[in-house]
């Protein structure tokens, strides 16, 4: 008698349940689709606020000359470009992402900005970082953690590759204050997909964006996950009434 098939382990892709081993490819497909219009869509969707959120992250990172920085899910290089200037010739920045199309745009933007000699590009999975223990002074991930299948594994990897005294910074959409939630939901599920259709010819990817935000852990839950991964001095700051949160912590 043959054994019954084991049930397929699933995870969420937006509001859909999909096989765990399929999610990374689905996420990759989303960003393949939007890569060419990603930066202009960021400006339109956030009315330019994403620049202020990222500036806050860079400021909180307190990157110094000589530091080595890993920018996970770094996409088109907004943070990596700023970090490369801050670390100087004696430091180094790794711009990392799972998506080759996004990385290519990031590489071009860094080169166009005159950044040279102190950065590299790495296509990788945040759950399985190909770096030695204690390789980095800072690890950042901006609007990328919600797309990771196993967030606990990714947090454990971030902890592993940080040097003692190093700092992690996670900038991500989060759970907004209740007073603005109705308007935020209307904007997310009606306006964003429409913008995606008109500007990027892709409403499905921006529907996924709205859904993935709702499936992401809230501020306190993510804080607990970071503590469970071994991080210390964990805290978060709500930005724009909690639409976005910046979580920070140290490896002691």
pLDDT digits (tens, 9 = 90+) for 8-19: 699 999 999 999
Q: H/E element holding 138?
A: strand 136-142
What does the block give as tokens for 153? Answer: 């594994």
DSSP 92-108: EEEEEES-HHHHHHHHH
Report d(CA 64, CA 186) in Å as an integer. 41
- The helix-helix angle for 192-199 and 38-46 (nearest 10°) equals 150
Q: Is 237 exposed, middle or buried (0-12, 13-18, 19+ CB in 10 A)?
A: middle
Q: What is the mean pLDDT of residues 177-198?
A: 93
Give the DSSP letter of residue 197. H
Q: What is the mean pLDDT of residues 159-169?
A: 98
> pTM, whole model, 2 decimals?
0.92
The structural domains of the chain, ordered by start, are 11-250 (3.40.50.150)
pLDDT at residue number 176: 96
pLDDT at residue number 7: 54
Q: Is the pLDDT of residue 39 over 90?
A: no
Q: What is the mean pLDDT of residues 93-118?
A: 94
């Amino acid at each position: 008698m043959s054994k019954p098939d084991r049930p397929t382990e699933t995870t969420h892709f937006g509001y859909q349940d999909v096989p765990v081993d399929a999610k990374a490819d689905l996420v990759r497909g989303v960003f393949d689709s939007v890569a060419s219009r990603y930066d202009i869509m960021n400006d339109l969707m956030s009315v330019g606020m994403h620049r202020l959120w990222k500036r806050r992250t860079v400021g909180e990172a307190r990157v110094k000359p000589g530091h080595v920085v890993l920018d996970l899910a770094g996409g088109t290089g907004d943070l990596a470009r700023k970090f490369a200037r801050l670390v100087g010739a004696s430091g180094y920045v790794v711009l990392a992402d799972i998506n080759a199309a996004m990385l290519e745009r990031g590489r071009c933007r860094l080169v166009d900005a005159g950044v040279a000699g102190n950065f590299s590009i790495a296509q990788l999975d945040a759950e399985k970082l190909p770096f030695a223990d204690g390789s980095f002074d800072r690890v950042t991930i901006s609007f990328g953690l919600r797309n990771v299948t196993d967030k606990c594994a990714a947090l454990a990897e971030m902890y592993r590759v940080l040097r003692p005294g190093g700092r992690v910074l996670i900038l991500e959409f989060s759970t907004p204050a209740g007073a603005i939630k109705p308007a935020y939901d209307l904007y997310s599920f009606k306006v964003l997909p429409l913008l995606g259709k008109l500007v990027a010819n892709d409403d499905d990817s921006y529907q996924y964006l709205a859904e993935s935000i709702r499936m992401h852990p809230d501020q306190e839950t993510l804080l607990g996950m970071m503590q469970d991964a071994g991080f210390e001095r964990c805290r978060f700051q709500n930005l724009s009434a909690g639409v976005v949160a910046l979580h920070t912590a140290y490896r002691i």
